[in-house]
Structure 1
Amino acid sequence: MMKNRNNLFTIFVILLSAVVLVTLGFYFQRLVESGRVVSPELAVVVINVVIFSMVPVLLVMLRKLFLLERQEKIVKVQELYIGHLQELVRVTRAQRHDFVNHLQVVYALLKTGKIEKAQSYIENLYHDVRISGEILRVNIPELAALLLVKMGVASLKNISFTIEVDANLNMLRVKATDLNTVVGNLVDNAFEAVESLNADKRTVALRIFETGKFFVFQTANPGFIEKELRDKIFEPGFSTRSGDRGFGLTSVRSVVEKNRGKILVSSFKDRGTKFTVLFPKQQRR
């Protein structure tokens, strides 16, 4: 809030200074035209002195405004990463606790001679390990870290979260922060859509693949969005839930449009809902 006030004050000072310069110019011009100024050359000198005195001040204020805006962007990025790191630490602690429990279960099954049950238990654990291996194929460290966090969140919420990567993202020219905004909000949106469903319906899938023209990021989950709501969900502040929500999909649309991409929504009562984001391959900046 304080930073916004500082920015508004700076803009106000710049505009006020500009108004003062224009007003002085017209004032001295009228004095010269009316003959009330003995020396027109003196009026010109005064105007020049005022202008050359004000211009450096204006330049300093503009530079300050630019630096403040740049600093705000840096702070927002840092806050985003700090939030992800905090969530990652929390998830890592929970996973460590779960891992110890899993080892104890496997050990107990083997100790009591229940080999087949131990094998079945390990096969179920292998599913999570396989997904972790899929994340390693992303080749974007920031996105990989985000997906690891979301895997942990899904585990804590008892959501079956599957990830499929079939794309080489080395040529994707989208900033990691923008990419995390898109993927993170789409995954969070899918989690929220299923967390109140029965256990067998709490499933979310993320597919990352490529076509001849696009890199595609797609989430799929059970649930249905009425046709009249599909455009409204991208409006700032709109949400079908109560609380401080409704800006995630707005951020997604903003980032997608900035990178000249597309976002598509399909929803069917029998097939669930899909959000598909396409980033054009020709966008290589």
Structure 2
Amino acid sequence: MNDIINFIKLDIFGSQPQIFVYWLFCLSFLDPVPPKLMKRLFFIAVIHSVYTDLMILVLPSYVHIINSLLIGLFLLFVFFRDVSTKKKLIVYLFIMIFAIAMDLLLTGIMVYGYGVDTREEMVTSKYFELLSVLYPLLSVIFMASWIIRRRKQFPGKKIFAIFVELERSTITAVLALILLQFFLLGTLQIVQIMPERYDVPLNSTLIYATIVISLLSLVTIIRLLVRTREQAVRMTQEVYVEEINDMFTSIRGQRHDFLNHVQVIHTMVHMGKTEQLKSYVNDLVKETRSVSDIVHHSSPALAAFAQAKTTVAIGKGIAFTCELPDNWNMHETTVKVIDIIKIIGNLVDNAFDETEILPQDQRQVHASIRIDEQKRIELLVSNRGRHISDNDKDRIFAPGYTSKGKDHTGLGLAIVQERVKHYKGSLEILSKENELQPLGTTQFRITLPKTSV
């Protein structure tokens, strides 16, 4: 009878709250957080704790551990079918690592704080002492999970997203080493609190094995950070290289024509064509505008983008205007400059492609980056061109969709939409059709939160 009472107390007041809070903490790192999370976790906690606590009575210890891992994985796949398989596996590894770490912390407090010698003593005679340690720990974890879910740009979520986007082999190596490290630490702790199983050679082997695995984990994580940095550099190069190439191509063309311009000016001066000379020089100044404003702007990346697009527009005969914020402090926003350039760059490229088919006097594109009154980043690109119907507004963001022929990949607007969703922003398309002309005006307006809430 006492065994049944102890089982019920341990399951209801110990195992179920532990599973619920541990899983809640780990699943809070998902972005977006799955709906009805609390309800799902309640059923998982009850089923998992009752099943595993019953099986421990009939299964050997090593079989019980495997059984507990499998039932947890099964419940995760059953109750979170709307989460991708890759995310589920990473979350479950996170849950196991976190649970082992918390159990080590809990066991350490009971052993060194309350003088507990065995696990049986911990769950019987020291049961209320166990709860006095467990519930404050669970309260802290519960509050931490609430804060994580409330903060959209929590650093831990970004780290989790990096793991999701990494190659599977890299994830497996890092997580396997970390999991093995915690397993060795847990085994070492169990050996130390069970005097009847204490073995000096085994204890020493576990210590040295833990040190070796820790060093391997450190080396692997350093290599992972280096690889992540290299990926970030490559992403930056992909964004800038095409624009810089276009800019230099146009600049080379301007330098090639410079001698011809000088000869024309010299001839007009000798012929006394003053008015024609003024008009010609004005057009020439517009075409050879200086790039010195790049170094004067608070964000050289944004200024370089604007200058590159302006140079490309001159080469295509497009009247392009670009408005940048007077002061841009990258430390005041969680939105990366490279993502802003990805978004507005793809929109400007599409606008250039659309207006390039028009007569030169009708080729007009305007882009602006500004901070509105609510401290949000507003990106705006407008151009003259064909009207976008309501049906096309839904189709143009599909990856691969293009109306420009085989030379275009149809990925530009898909990238724009993905980045806007990543920052929880909004995207609006305003396309006005001119009743008197077949052409209209199309405007893309994107709003991004400047800082995390």
Q: TM-score range by the shorter chain?
A: 0.7 to 0.9
Give per-residue Cα distances to partners, 1:57-84, cap 9 Å, x unaligned: 3443344333322221123224444444
182-191 or 42-51, which deviates more = 42-51
Residue 136 to residue 256, structure 1, CA distance change in 2 (3 Å): farther
Aligned to 1:184: 345
Task: Report the secondary structure of 1:246's partner residue.
Answer: coil
Please state how far the C-alpha of 1:274 moved relative to its aligned partner.
0.8
Q: CA offsets, 1:83-135, max 9 Å, x none? A: 44433322221122234333332332232222222222233334446797987
As a proportion of its length, which structure holds more strand?
1
Distance 1:96 1:260, change over 3 A: farther
Change (3 A) 1:63 1:130: closer
Q: Please name the residue that 2:303 is paired with.
A: 144
TM-score for the superposition, normalised by structure 2: 0.49
Structure 1 match to 2:115: none
Secondary structure of the structure 2 residue equivalent to 1:169: coil
Please report how far the alpha carbon of residue 187 of structure 1 lies from its aligned counterpart in structure 2 after TM superposition.
1.2
Equivalent in the alignment of 1:230: 393
Is the CA contact 1:204–1:220 (under 8 Å) kept in the aligned structure 2? yes
Deviates more, 1:259-268 or 1:185-194: 259-268
Q: Distance in 1 between matches of 2:448 and 2:289?
A: 27
User: Does 2:416 align with 1:252?
Assistant: yes
Give the % identical residues: 28
1:170 aligns with 2:328: yes
Equivalent position SS for 1:220: strand
Aligned runs of 1:19-38 on 2, under 5 Å? none
Secondary structure in structure 1 of the residue aligned to 2:365: strand
Provide the secondary structure at the position in 1 that maps to 2:366. Answer: strand
> What are the equivalent positions in structure 2 for 1:90-239 lying under 5 Å apart?
90-128=249-287, 139-163=298-322, 165=323, 167-171=325-329, 173=333, 174-213=335-374, 214-222=376-384, 223-239=386-402
Alignment partner for residue 441 of structure 2, among 267, 272, 277? 272
The answer for unaligned runs of 5 or more in structure 2 is: 1-165, 186-195, 435-439
Residues matched between the structures, number: 269
Asked if 1:57 corresponds to 2:216, the answer is yes
User: Who is 1:10 aligned against?
Assistant: 170
Could you tell me whether the CA contact under 8 Å between 2:184 and 2:210 is conserved in 1? Answer: no
| Farther off after superposition, 52-61 or 85-94 | 52-61
One-letter code aligned to 2:172: F
Code of the aligned partner of 1:207: S
Q: How far apart are residue 183 of structure 1 and its match?
A: 2.7
Structure 1 residue ranges without an equivalent (≥5)? 1-5, 26-38
- Specify the structure having the higher radius of gyration (Cα): 2
For residue 151 of structure 1, give the secondary structure of its aligned residue in structure 2: helix
TM-score by length of 1: 0.73
Secondary structure, counterpart of 1:89 in structure 2: helix
Matches of 1:237 and 1:104, distance apart in 2: 48
- The answer (yes or no) to whether the contact 1:167–1:215 under 8 Å persists in 2 is no
- Structure 1 residues 206 and 89, CA gap change in structure 2 (3 angstroms): same
- For the residues of structure 2 that align with 1:78 and 1:166, how far apart are their CA atoms? 22
8 Å CA contact 1:91–1:149 kept in 2: the answer is no
AA aligned opposite 1:186: L
Provide the secondary structure at the position in 1 that maps to 2:301. Answer: helix
Check conservation: 2:426, 2:446, Cα contact below 8 A: yes
